[in-house]
Amino acid sequence: MAKMTFKIKKHSYDPKILFVIVSWDSEKYIKSCLSSLFKLEYNNYKVLLIDNASSDKTLDYAKGYGLIVMKNKKNRGLQKANNNGLKYSINKGFDYTFFLNVDTIITDRNMLHLILNYFNNDKSTAIVFPTSYLLDNQDKKIFESFWLLKIINSLKLAKWNSMVDGCAMMIDNNKAKEIGYFDERLFYFDDFDYGKRARLKGFKTKRADNVKILHKWGGTIKHSLSPFVIYNFNNSLYIFLKKHLSFKFLFLLLLYFVWLIILFFYLIISASFKMINSQENNNSRFKSFFYLLKSIGSKGLGQKLNFSG
């Protein structure tokens, strides 16, 4: 089979693009991300780094790139930082905002020209995002790797090419003014939420199949079973389902509680076999689990849990 090729269309006017990167103790990833970013063949972009109170050498490693830097005294979460970045981009007159996770690597120097073609070819497009592949398995697409995405797709609740991937996505700022800001209650599924809201406004979201980006999926989350992750993943899932899937919500809610039961028994088994490092961590994980149950259906649903990540 002949390999598909895509024509790179250069533009007489290069729109002004702001990259927004949020960091938090990201010294392991920041250099490779920025190194790939500054190899782009494009003349009209700036990079805003919003640091969520890093305690490592993230900011030291970011020096020398000519970045715009915002330093937060506290880590108030990814969506709060993203909203600050979007506000900055709109107020400073940028045409587009490109949200880029710090644990990604850009592989194509012509990425911005290729993505701009999608916007120019269809003026109703609000969001375009590259196709993300696993950094540790560069032939495998992330959207084909995550079990929850497969379930959502099998229920025909979304299509692969419409489920926005927030690890790298470019937004038309004029349309962002109509869509609004990110939902700061969501620690996960924020990108799906934003894409869904864009489509409800009549805009289109498109995956750029001809643009590849590498992502160390989950690289910026320190502990996959920390109380922070347990609570925020499940809480975000509940909020997302309730917001957007009302007619199928009861069925999905049943599946959600089945998942919670599985999670509960996993915590018991892992604690019994000393898979959890310490009694303190063990207690914290159970505390986050029961706090989650207490929050469901209450006015506290959607509130962030103040565990360390």
pLDDT for the residue numbered 141: 83
Per-residue pLDDT of 55-69, as tens digits, reads: 999 999 999 899 999
With a CB cutoff of 8 Å and minimum separation 6, the contacts of 262 are none
pLDDT at 247 over 90: no
Do residues 125 and 172 touch, judged by C-beta distance below 8 A?
Answer: yes
Half-sphere exposure of 47 (CA within 13 A, CB side): 25
C-alpha 24/C-alpha 104 separation (Å) is 14
Contact 21, 48 (CB under 8 A): yes
Q: pLDDT-derived band of residue 75, with 50, 70 and 90 as boundaries?
A: confident
Q: Output the pLDDT for position 271.
A: 54
How high is the pLDDT of residue 283? 54
pLDDT confidence of 162, banded at 50, 70, 90? Answer: low
Q: What is the DSSP letter of 54?
A: -
How is residue 128 written in tokens? 């375009």
> Measured at the alpha carbon of residue 58, what is the angle toward residues 55 and 61, in degrees to the nearest 5?
140
Q: What are the angstrom distances between the C-alpha of 161 and each of 148, 164, 306? A: 16, 8, 35
Largest CA distance in the chain: 64
Q: Residue 97: helix, strand or coil by DSSP? A: strand
Express each pLDDT in 166-181 by its tens digit.
899 999 999 999 999 9
| pTM attached to this predicted model | 0.77
pLDDT at 255 over 60: yes
Task: Please determine, for residue 51, whether its predicted confidence score (pLDDT) is greater than 50.
Answer: yes
Per cent of the chain over pLDDT 70 is: 64
For the chain, what percent of residues have pLDDT higher than 90?
Answer: 49
Span 93-121, pLDDT tens digits: 999 999 999 999 999 999 999 999 999 99
Domain segments of the chain: what residues? 17-215, 227-295
| Alpha-carbon gap, residue 209 to 111, rounded angstroms | 11
Average pLDDT, the chain: 79
> Per residue in 131-143, pLDDT tens?
999 888 888 887 7
Q: How confident is the model at residue 233 (pLDDT cuts 50, 70, 90)?
A: confident
Please give the pLDDT value at position 2: 42
**Structure confidence at residue 194 (pLDDT):** 93
**CATH of the domain spanning 17-215:** 3.90.550.10
- Using pLDDT thresholds of 50, 70 and 90, give the confidence band for residue 189: confident
Of 223, 225, 253, the C-alpha closest to 240 is 253
Quick check: 165 and 129 in contact, CB under 8 A? yes
Instruction: State residue 34's pLDDT score.
Output: 97
E-strand ranges in the chain read: 17-23, 45-52, 68-72, 96-100, 104-106, 125-134, 137-141, 168-172, 204-215
pLDDT over 60 at 183, yes or no: yes
How many angstroms separate the CA atoms of 4 and 171, rounded?
26
By CB neighbour count within 10 A (0-12 exposed, 13-18 middle, 19+ buried), where does 70 fall? middle
pLDDT 10s digits, 266-309: 666 555 544 444 444 555 555 555 555 555 544 344 444 333 33
Rounded to an integer, the average pLDDT of 42-51 is: 97
Residue 158 pLDDT level (bands cut at 50, 70, 90): low
Q: Which amino acid is at 12?
A: S
Under a CB-based contact definition with an 8 Å cutoff, are residues 102 and 37 in contact?
no
Q: Do residues 227 and 285 touch, judged by C-beta distance below 8 A?
A: yes
Residue for token pair 């799906």:
192
Q: Mean pLDDT: which of 6-15, 92-101, 145-154, 250-259 is highest?
A: 92-101
Residue for token pair 């103040």:
306
Confidence at residue 226, expressed as pLDDT on a 0 to 100 scale: 60
